[in-house]
Amino acid sequence: MNASPQPAVLRRTRAESMRRRSAGVSAVSLVAGLGLGLGLGLGLAGCGGGEPADGGASSADAGGPTPVRIAVVPKGTTHEYWRSVEAGAFAAAREASDSGTPVEMVFRGPDREDDREQQIALLENLRSGDFDGLVLAPLDENALVAPVAQFKDAGIPVVVIDSGLAGEPGRDFASFIATDNRAAGRLAGEHVATALDNVGRVLLLRYLEGSESTTQREEGFVDAIAAAGGFELIDPGRYAGATRATAQQAAENLLASVAPGGEMDAFDAVFCPNESSTYGMLLALRDRGLAGKVTFVGFDASPDLVAGLEAGEIDGLVVQNPVRMGRLGVENVLKAIRGEPVDPAIDTGAALILSDEATSAESRRLLSPDLEAIRAGG
């Protein structure tokens, strides 16, 4: 792991930044520090190294044009979802480099999705670097407002992805690129309503307070259940937390409160709004012998969740398109750096994949994308 030289503080305008670039060199570098780790104190140190993806020397080292430097900061680095975002972002950076705009992309985020202070500290560190643009998935819709404003004040365009930030896209930041999470939550609720003929007891395990994206999913699910009528929604406000361990414990506690004696008919369906909460609930249902015996709809995909879907333990998974989200994040921050118009809001889409559809080609593309092929341009 090699540390890059400490960059100077950026105080250029976007136009000044782009005048420093010239076309004709294809080189994309990736500093893929998954997790903040020791890299925070080393400026651009990262576990992925800083070598260009095509194996050659960077354009700056070779005396060519200075690359456009972009930081991509996810909410966390432990969930499979963020690996897909990184693959899409890298693919966009590679394509820009191949088209004559050399790009250096740093992908680095906090270890856990509940560590607001770590994400804020990382942004403060990156802002002191010589970056031209930021793509950010904010951990908290309010806590990250001030750090983003500081990037904007420094003339560094910011594209927000995945989870919303308080403010107005197109004014307070260049663009908001994400799933329509409320609509995605409604997809889950509508499926539960159809599966249960609009009658039954439904559990909701929430994810994390302050997480705008998952809150929207939860509220969309509640909207659909309320619209169906005939349901009893059991929502005691329990939060799974950012890890599988905390999610499993929260799921166990929720199930124990609903069915303290392990009753098989205490509830009919359950919804979880993200990867960790879905897996924690899956483990809790397995422990009680309920996996596959209640209607269970989760959110996002990982190898363990896909296995549960294929086995019929999970009735359906609402999946996003994180590869597209990462790709569009980088493409649009490059547009903003060049001073080109950027759509203030872009919906990257979502789909509900049921257990009997899990092995179709289209489902496999969304559930288990070939990230190495995507990074390589396949």
Same domain, 311 and 201: yes
Same domain, 163 and 52: yes
In a domain, 352, yes or no: no
Token digits of residue 264? 């098989």
- Return mean pLDDT, the chain: 86
Q: Residue 135 CA to chain centroid, in angstroms?
A: 11
Same domain, 98 and 226: no
- The predicted-structure confidence for 68-100, as pLDDT tens digits, reads as follows 999 999 999 989 999 999 999 999 999 999 999
- The predicted-structure confidence for 331-346, as pLDDT tens digits, reads as follows 999 999 999 999 999 9
Q: What is the residue whose two structure tokens read 């200075």?
A: 66
The CATH number of whichever domain residue 90 belongs to comes to: 3.40.50.2300
Please tell me the predicted confidence (pLDDT) of residue 37.
33
In a domain, 159, yes or no: yes
Same domain, 131 and 82: yes
- What integer is the mean pLDDT of 165-181? 98
Please tell me the predicted confidence (pLDDT) of residue 20.
36
Report d(CA 102, CA 60) in Å as an integer.
Answer: 10
Residue 245: which H helix or E strand, with range?
A: helix 244-258
Report d(CA 165, CA 175) in Å as an integer.
Answer: 11
In a domain, 357, yes or no: no
Of the candidates 303, 322, 311, 324, the residue with the CA atom closest to the CA atom of residue 285: 311
Q: Residue 189 sits in which domain range?
A: 181-319
Give every CB contact of residue 17 below 8 A, 6+ residues apart in sequence. Answer: 68, 132, 337
Same domain, 21 and 154: yes
In a domain, 111, yes or no: yes
Same domain, 207 and 91: no
In a domain, 67, yes or no: yes
Same domain, 245 and 284: yes
The gap between the terminal CA atoms of the chain, to the nearest Å, is: 28
- The predicted-structure confidence for 298-313, as pLDDT tens digits, reads as follows 999 999 999 999 999 9
Please tell me the predicted confidence (pLDDT) of residue 63.
60
Q: For the chain, what is the domain count?
A: 2
